[in-house]
Structure 1
Amino acid sequence: MARHEDLRGQVAIVTGASSGVGWQSALRLAEAGVRLCVTARRQAALERLRVEVLQRGGECLVSDGDVTVAEDVERVVRECVAHYGRVDLLVNAAAVQSYGYFDQLPWEHITRVFDVACFGYFRFARAVLPHFRRQGHGHLLNVQSMLAAGSAPLLSAYASAKHATLGWAQSLELELAGTGIHVSNVMVPSVSTPMFDHAPTMLGWRPVPVPPTYDVDLVARAVVRLAKRPGRTSVPAFLQGRLMLWLNGLAPSVGKAVLSRFGVQMQTTDMPLDRPEGNLFIPVEEGVGPRGSVPPTPAWKRFTATLGLAALTGGVVGGAVLGARGLLRAAR
């Protein structure tokens, strides 16, 4: 496992940097001394991020672009290398999602989710890999999702895109063994990003993340740790992370029982909302910055939910329905 404990002077491209994990990861990397090239579709949002980075003593190049457009991707990498002379780290963080039952999702929504959350990662990796190979070193750091190792109703397109992205990253790691180029992944739980304020919904109700929700900085700090020690897969959350992986291995029927019965309820509110397109194809002005309208779940509620999951595991399916109601109330 490689170690680069001192990140000062390294150059990183961060995608999806206009909000959420991308924004906060860029700030944390800047604090560690990384020189940034930030990209997303919203240039005005990126300029606001640049101001914050400069206020913290960092360096930041803004290069707006769409991860679904190959010419944009190649231009961003080209501008980064022209400005800094090299690129050492790619943080793939761009993502979109669309809420709805699979057979009710417009086909163009399904393909767009894949084009951003999966193929966008591929495009940027292909653009930076020639530079990494010439240098003899580099780091692909992919912001993944816990849904890459699981599933949820209403998010079939996003979950399958993240399954594909994680499989690609694991295969790429094998191909790059011994080249000095490392691949890392951070498995993200539900976090307090504006993604849920942007996402289209076919349901007519305001969507929310599967509870509990963690602060976005949990992931940003994990990104910095992986940048310092590449070549790993990080699962920074416990309840909606390591515990869920363990539970799925021990008693997968429990998770299926909870999500099939309560998964839709967990992700919807009683607030009517007409947002059939969201930010899938055209960026929106709202939701700039790291955090969205859904706050992080307090730690004491996460602890209560952990006890609920422990009870579910003991009773397996028999107590799943009753326990899940308590889990939902505690996580909210």
Structure 2
Amino acid sequence: MNTLGFTIVGFGTIAKTHMVALRTLPIIKPLPLTPVLDALVTRRPEELKHQAEQIGFSYITSDLNEALKREQTQAVSICTPNSLHAEQVKAAVQHGKAIYCEKPVTESGQATRALLQDIPEQYNEQLAFVFRYHPAVMHMREWLLEGVLGEVLQCKVTYLRSGYLNAKRPVSWRLSDSLSGGGAITDIGVHALDLVRHLFGEFKHVDGQAYTFVPERPSAAGAADHVRVKVDDWATMAYQTEQGVRGQVEVSRIAYGADAFRIDIVGTKGSITADLEKDKRPTLHLLDGTVPVLPIPSALELLPDDKATLGVFQDSHTAALHHFILRQAGDERWSELAPTIRDGYAVEKWVDHVLKQSEQNES
């Protein structure tokens, strides 16, 4: 039996999302390679040993290089704080392991640009821009390629989360400028910018501002002392693509009661709208009132079917890892879909630009 052994680095929510996907895939999809959870790399190997064994890991360690030396591992899934990614990616390259890395690539576009020098061209890697694998996004892209909207004029993307409005929420690595590199713009803004680029091509320019509304937080849960927060809670960007599409991107982690991931596209023939939080298929509005026969994306095959769904968030991660496994087996279908570390840099450099603009405006 052909297997694909994974080392998972990290044991947070996203790492567990990857584990669920890899354990579930052989049940719901025929695979050319069987994913195996080989090694877990965690700061708490003794504490997590029993749980890791229950999940199916054969090896638990705090040393990534130790795990990467294992012949049973052919791929590494990196699910750690952003500032740790660069060294972990380089370690995987040195050991010749395929890389599946969470977004953003690093804590800054500048750091990602430097990292690219250590990754050979055409290296076996994939970045977790998982919203490319969202079914509504797949439909949008197929319809746009079909020319359903005519000439695309503008697109607005609004990605709103709410978990950081509470000023009593203590500091974590996502609120640390040294570990994360940024707040909403780095955490979820990269997803929004990648979707614009995925749908409409390269950016000609992106300008904007980012702001921190909750400037200090408890140093730990229940702590009386507070620390300054330097990363943004909210950001807005105006962009134009090389093809002439214009639009706005707004991202927030303090939009209490308004969680959504809306995409609104307007073309000369009508519009496409969707909220990726709940819509698996976008809505098409045509000026002439017709209801055309719309193409069905073949890449939907990567997703769990309706009877196997675990929710659109988990499903998108599952589809992305499904594609990663197929690519390890030499399957070249949907090659334009797979996001790379270079795709990460293509949006992270604009995040750097907007953060620099905001810093200059406040000085």
TM-score tier, shorter chain, comes to 0.3 to 0.5
Structure exhibiting the larger radius of gyration computed from Cα positions: 2
Q: TM-score, normalised by structure 2?
A: 0.40
Q: TM-score when scaled to structure 1?
A: 0.43
- Whose strand fraction is larger, Structure 1's or Structure 2's? 2
